[in-house]
Amino acid sequence: MIELVIDARRKDLGGFEVGRVLPFHSRRMVGPFIFLDQMGPAEFAPGADAINVRPHPHIGLSTLTYLFEGEIMHRDNTGATQAIRPGEVNWMTAGSGIVHSERTDPLKKSQGGAMHGMQAWVALPTELEETAPAFHHIGEEGQPAYENGGLFARLVAGEAYGAKAAAPVSSPLFYVHWELAEGVRTAPPSGKGPGGYSERALYVVKGEIEVGDRTFHEGQMIVLEPTAEPTVKAIKPSSVMVLGGEPVGPRVIWWNFVASSQERIDQAKADWKAGRMALPAEDDLEFIPLPDVPSTPEPAPVKPEPTHPV
C-alpha cells in the first residue's frame, strides 16, 4: 500500500524555516511535482524580516504557492504584481524563462504576524518547456470545495473527485487541501480506472493520520503504491495536502532551473549570469546572483539549494 515515507528536512533560510520534502534522493518526483516545501509555520515580530526573496529566474516549470496564514507579494517580469492570501493560488509558468521576487509588503512587515503555506514546483511537459512565461492568480472561487461531517476538501489545482480547478495546468495532476476533524475518514483520488492517477502522495502539514495500519505525523509524506486504495483516518485534527498525477519524464533540477536536458540548464545559467533575463520592472534594484557551484551531467539532488523559501 505504501511505497515510501519521506520526512521533511527542516532548513533555515535566513531566519525562516522550511520543511523540504521533494526532491528526495530516492524519490525525485511524484507525478509532475518536482519540488515541495512547507513554509513555516512562523510568527514574525513587528518590523522583523519576513519573506524577502530577491528577483531570481526559473525555466521549465510552473510554481504553485498556497497559503494557510500570512501574505506574500509577488512581482515578475511579465508585469504581474499580486499579493497572495490564505486560500488563494499564485500559479506562475516559467516556460522559456521568467524572473520574479517574493516579499512581505512593508505595511505587513511593520505589523508582524504569522506565515504558513506550501510551495510546489510542477515540471512542464517536454513539448511545453519553452512556452511563453505567464502568471495567474486564482481566488477561492476557482477552487472547488466540499465540506461535510468534519471534512473540508479544496481542489487547489488539476482534476479530482469529478471536479476541475481553474489553475491552468499543463499535464494530468491533482492537488487537494484537506482539513480533517478527529476521527474523520476519507480517501485520496483513485489510482485505478478512467481518471485515476498513477502516482499519488499525502503530506501531513499538521496533526496525525492513519493510513492502513500505520500512523503518520506532521512533516511526513506518504507515497502510495500505484494500485493502493487506502482509507485515511484522522487520529487528531489534521491538515493534509494530497497530490499526484502522471509523470512527464526525467528532469534535471539545478538551483531554480528545471529542464529535460543538461544543455538547457547550462544555457539558463549563462543567460542569467550575462544579464539576458529582465528583472521585474517594479523590483529591479537587486537580484540573486548565479551560485558558484557547477551543475552535474545527470539528475541529482538539488545543489545548490533552490532560492525559494516559497
* Predicted confidence (pLDDT) per residue in 218-228, tens digit: 999 999 999 99
Torsional class of 138: left (φ above 0), alpha (ψ -120 to 50), beta (otherwise):
beta
Percent of the chain exceeding pLDDT 90 equals: 85
pTM score, two decimals? 0.94
pLDDT tens for each residue of 28-63: 999 999 999 999 999 999 988 788 999 999 999 999
Nearest CA to 31 out of 296, 247, 184, 206 is that of 247
pLDDT of residue 307: 60
pLDDT tens for each residue of 233-249: 999 999 999 999 999 99
pLDDT of residue 302: 43
Cα 272 to the center of its chain, rounded Å: 23
Answer whether 31's CB lies under 8 Å from 173's CB: yes
pLDDT of residue 304: 53
Judged against a pLDDT cut of 90, whether residue 191 lies above it is answered with no
Q: Mean pLDDT across the stretch 76-91?
A: 97
pLDDT tens for each residue of 125-184: 999 999 999 999 999 999 999 999 999 999 999 999 999 999 999 999 999 999 999 999
pLDDT of residue 50: 82
The H or E element containing residue 179 is: strand 173-180
